[in-house]
A and B are shown apart, each in its own frame.
Chain A
Amino acid sequence: MNIITNMFRKDLILLKNNKYILFFLIFPLSMGLSLFQTSNIQQAAVNTIMGILFTAYVLVTYVFGLEDRNKFNIVFSSFPVNRNLIVLYKYIFIILTFVIGVLLTCIIPFTTIVFSNKGVINTQIIRFAFIVYIIYFMIYLPVYFKIGYYKMRKVNTPSYLLVILMPFLIPKLSKNEVLNKIFISILNSIKNVFLNQSGIIFLLILMFVSFLISLNIFSRREF
């Protein structure tokens, strides 16, 4: 546990020293500010998802990128640290960055709801953001452990943006109403499946399988 805490403290120092950290803070806060101002539920949903997912993604990729540049996994692997612990920490870090994203995005509307009963925080939307985030990173992490951050970076951001923006972009880009209705109904049914208990079980299984694959890959990785 001490090692996990130390790893997280190290990552916080890396983030604290990032010269773009102000932007990372301003973006989710401004998304949060819009939640306080808007009464439009759909707009609030878009802003919540964008605020949380953008922040979490940027924090993860910044730390992963820096570690890869400094060949940190080589350092760790030459230390008497169990490699399974390194893998476990990355999964914990993914969850923690999501929590940071939620806190930064929701701090303003939460405060305004408490003090003036104004603003919107939709927990279903946060859960939906979590599902999207977890599915993406449970696929991402085994590949990261296999080939490292730098070999992935060309496909990282476009694929992530696609995942985040697809639900909003497709209905806007497509002028065919029938197609739009089909897409929205697919999206809704996916959302309904994931927001109930069977969806949670699916997510847990996905996390477990992803974790096992990552363990297997990283224990055999050579530096």
Chain B
Amino acid sequence: MLKVNNLKKVFKLSKKQMALGKTKDKYKNAVNGIDFTANPGQIFGLLGPNGAGKTTTLRCLATLIKPTEGEIFFDNINALKNEEQVRKKICFLTNELKLDEFFTPNYTINYFGSLYGLTKEQIQKKKEILFKRFEIDSYQETKIGELSTGMKQKLSIAVSLVHDPEIIIFDEPTNGLDIVTARSVTDYLVELKNKGKTVIISTHIMSVAQHLCDEIAIIIDGKIKINGSLNHILQSTGKENLEDAFFELYVQSKGGKE
């Protein structure tokens, strides 16, 4: 189980960032006191526009950045005090990451498996399962640079799952993927959920949140505006679909202006 209490992250802006953001403030509250809980056997989605604080939140969870305030617990383990212990339990995947073009899928899995301290036998066993699941078998010795975008994404997912993590954190898992690969990825997330894993994703795509997530937190300007099941969100906002509910909250948070 993942529990997040009063998470805050303040970034100091460079002059260039201040100019780009057209602001005179030297600091930006990227995440401003958010709380949520994600349970095993559940897909939890952070839904919000660009710059809302989704990726910052996920990076805090993945221990890549330290929150300015707040607490994160993975199965009662304080993530801020036990980073390495937590990293063994989680995987973090973002589209920003690229696998080295010169490596083959076979070598990549071996390499990252060894970083997790897995034995050769453990890696081999896991590799067989993952390659079969993601249909990478016949590309095992093909250089990554020669693989299609979809196949690269599948391999990234396979790499991140090599150590059988309990908590899976995916930043925009279907971003930039073709419809077939996107479906394959979302199907796999459901499989992981059904195996009792905790899956946390960020997305700005309404349909992904609506169809995939058991719980959705709508995040705008670093704050969670509403958190709960799709039904709860629709009932609370009095809207018929997630998109309308989202825009209702978005307009409210911007003081009635879009």
Closest residue of chain A to B117 (Cβ to Cβ) is A80
With a CB–CB cut-off of 8 A, which chain A residues contact B155? none
**Per a CB cutoff under 8 Å, which of B94, B96, B115 touches A81?**
B115
With a CB–CB cut-off of 8 A, which chain B residues contact A222? 59, 64-66
Cα–Cα, bound, A222→B55 (Å): 13
Cα–Cα, bound, A80→B111 (Å): 13
**Per a CB cutoff under 8 Å, which of A2, A66, A74, A81 touches B100?**
A66
With a CB–CB cut-off of 8 A, which chain B residues contact A2? 114
**Per a CB cutoff under 8 Å, which of B59, B98, B114 touches A3?**
B114
Which secondary structure characterizes the binding site on chain A?
helix
- B174 → A minimal CB distance (Å): 20
Cα–Cα, bound, A222→B65 (Å): 5
With a CB–CB cut-off of 8 A, which chain A residues contact B143? 17
Closest residue of chain A to B9 (Cβ to Cβ) is A222
Q: Contact at B65–A71, with CB atoms within 8 Å?
A: no
With a CB–CB cut-off of 8 A, which chain A residues contact B87? 78-80
With a CB–CB cut-off of 8 A, which chain A residues contact B246? none
Q: How large is the interface on A (under 10, 10 to 19, 20 to 34, 35 or more residues)?
A: 20 to 34
Q: Contact at A6–B102, with CB atoms within 8 Å?
A: no
Q: Contact at B114–A223, with CB atoms within 8 Å?
A: no
Q: CB of A10 within 8 A of chain B?
A: yes
- B119 → A minimal CB distance (Å): 11
Closest residue of chain B to A9 (Cβ to Cβ) is B111
Q: CB of B25 within 8 A of chain A?
A: no
- A84 → B minimal CB distance (Å): 11
Contact pattern, A 53-77, Cβ under 8 Å of B = 1, otherwise 0: 0000000000000100111101111
Knowing A17-B102, A223-B65, say if A6 contacts B114 (CB, 8 Å). Answer: yes
Knowing A10-B111, A222-B65, say if A79 contacts B97 (CB, 8 Å). Answer: no
Cα–Cα, bound, A78→B62 (Å): 6
Contact pattern, B 95-115, Cβ under 8 Å of A = 1, otherwise 0: 011111011000100011011
Q: CB of A13 within 8 A of chain B?
A: yes
Cα–Cα, bound, A24→B228 (Å): 58
**Per a CB cutoff under 8 Å, which of A14, A75, A81 touches B97?**
A75
With a CB–CB cut-off of 8 A, which chain B residues contact A74? 64, 94, 96-97
Q: Contact at B115–A71, with CB atoms within 8 Å?
A: no
With a CB–CB cut-off of 8 A, which chain B residues contact A123? none
With a CB–CB cut-off of 8 A, which chain B residues contact A197? none
Q: CB of A116 within 8 A of chain B?
A: no
Knowing A6-B115, A222-B65, say if A82 contacts B84 (CB, 8 Å). Answer: yes
Knowing A77-B64, A222-B65, say if A3 contacts B115 (CB, 8 Å). Answer: yes
Closest residue of chain A to B11 (Cβ to Cβ) is A222
Q: CB of B116 within 8 A of chain A?
A: yes
- A10 → B minimal CB distance (Å): 6
Q: Contact at A70–B59, with CB atoms within 8 Å?
A: no
Extra 7 A-B pairs, beta carbons < 8 Å, given A10-B100, A222-B64: A6-B114, A13-B102, A74-B96, A75-B97, A79-B112, A81-B115, A223-B59
User: Closest 5 CB pairs between A and B?
Assistant: A17-B102, A80-B87, A222-B65, A78-B92, A70-B98
Can you list 10 A-B pairs, Cβ within 8 angstroms, ordered by A? A2-B114, A3-B114, A10-B111, A74-B64, A74-B96, A77-B64, A78-B90, A79-B87, A80-B85, A223-B65
